[in-house]
A and B are shown apart, each in its own frame.
Chain A
């Protein structure tokens, strides 16, 4: 094991680190869009809207993400004649759809958890269905979603390593490349290095999400440091006046 060798090779990790960050951010953005679209669709009272979304979510969740990745990277160009210029795009789409399907359940659950009285009150002041969603339901559901979405974002970061399987050179692929030289004598320190890098990235996501959650809770008049869980009028009466 040669620590100096690892230190010398650090510059070669810069580009792969950016690839990992790019895959994670881009597929997270796609996942968020997919999650809200599917989450709203699966919350619909109309069967014709709910059913296709439900089928899509269950299919994606029920099949392997690795196979989905291969499908977008290798099968789709052959079957549908669609070829991405870069394998990374196939990786982003596969991860974005997969995590979007999982996160749609978080969105659906948070929407369902908005108290019925809120819907009745927004009906009583004559909001349209879209206004009810935009002004009342989503602003209240959003803070509830953040902790679960944070967990999925960290899982997505770790799953981004799968793009190394479709010849994208991310952190994992680079550690394999460098560590594999000279018969693989330096595999241990290189993989140890990227373990720490993944951990630091995960910690950054977690810190960002915590800040986001505190901001969202403040938008409900709640100090997240003082009050845990959903605030009820009873809590408000006893705790905060």
Chain B
């Protein structure tokens, strides 16, 4: 794997990002960077803001904008370009749908509840967006889809509907669907939480393969600590929208400094 810090410019930058839902502040002036190729695992109790971070990056949620982004921040940057905002007349303003469609291209997401399209067979789930949003030819998209479905071990299921697959199989298709779009950043939001225990290993196995064979940048929210330890270069512990502690997986899992991290890990590992 390439050295994640070899490129000085961060791939993702959260610059004093705020996010509130009504009165509830989920992220309070949160700042962090992710380097290209890095695999970052976000851990922390529920409600700590981890999933919100992924949803902001996927533009499923939008930041609570600051009055003056130049002075106060509140902006998410990807590859040096603003994601949550766009430049207009030399100033940063909140992004419109057109800008979001442009920046969204770089990002893919796998969801806790798979969210495959039930009205499309497995193959079409993986080809449809390639054709409609990347402008690939049908043959090109199909070749790519078959290659990826082979990678996730589901070559035999191309003609099935999602409702005819197990949860673990559906999630592997969802991984193929996300990868087919050639994203620079892959967001994994509790991808094994909805699975029966015996199906978890297959999905994690596929993700380990992806991590080993590509240099794709990953942000991972998971309760699978073994997986997090194996795959990630950095672990960030969140609580109430703030980073409590971060470091290499070995440090965080073997020797956490903060009491909140120790408590959280004890609780998770006791499960």
Contacts and interface: CB of A to CB of B under 8 A. Distances in A.
A115 B178 CA distance: 19
A233 B167 contact: yes
A8 interface: no
Nearest to A219: B119
A115 B119 CA distance: 13
Given A126-B101, A221-B162, A131 B59 contact: no
A220 B163 contact: yes
A109 interface: no
Contact of A233 (B60, B101, B107, B113): B113
A237 interface: yes
Contacts of A219: 119
Nearest to A139: B119
Contacts of B193: none
Interface stretch (B128-136, B211-219, B240-248): B128-136
B162 A127 contact: no
A201 to B, nearest CB: 32
B172 interface: no
Contact of A237 (B59, B115, B167): B167
- If over half of B's interface residues share one DSSP class (helix, strand or loop), that class is named, otherwise mixed; here it is loop
Interface string A127-165: 111010001100110000000000000000000000000
Given A118-B117, A220-B118, A125 B133 contact: yes
Nearest to A124: B109
A129 B166 contact: no
Contact of B163 (A122, A126, A240): A240
Contact of B117 (A126, A136, A233, A241): A136
Contacts of A139: 119
Interface in B117-141: 117-119, 121, 128-129, 132-133
A120 B60 contact: yes
A127 B111 contact: no
B97 A129 contact: yes
A197 interface: no
B231 interface: no
B76 interface: no
B192 interface: no
A221 B132 contact: no
B160 interface: yes
A236 interface: yes
B129 A127 contact: yes
A81 interface: no
A222 interface: yes
A124 B163 contact: no
Interface in B154-183: 160-167, 170, 177-178, 181
Interface string A152-186: 00000000000000000000000000000000000
- Most A CB contacts (10 A, CB to CB) among B114, B164, B167 go to B164
Contacts of A240: 163-164
A126 B109 contact: no
A117 interface: yes
A240 B161 CA distance: 11
B271 interface: no
A171 B140 CA distance: 58
B126 to A, nearest CB: 10
A80 B115 CA distance: 52
A233 B170 contact: yes
A117 B111 contact: yes
Interface in A193-241: 219-222, 231, 233, 235-237, 240-241
Contact of A221 (B58, B60, B133, B164): B164
Nearest to A235: B163
A123 interface: yes
A76 interface: no
B162 A126 contact: no
16 contacts: A120-B115, A123-B60, A124-B111, A125-B177, A128-B101, A220-B118, A220-B119, A220-B161, A221-B118, A222-B163, A231-B163, A233-B113, A233-B194, A235-B163, A236-B167, A240-B164
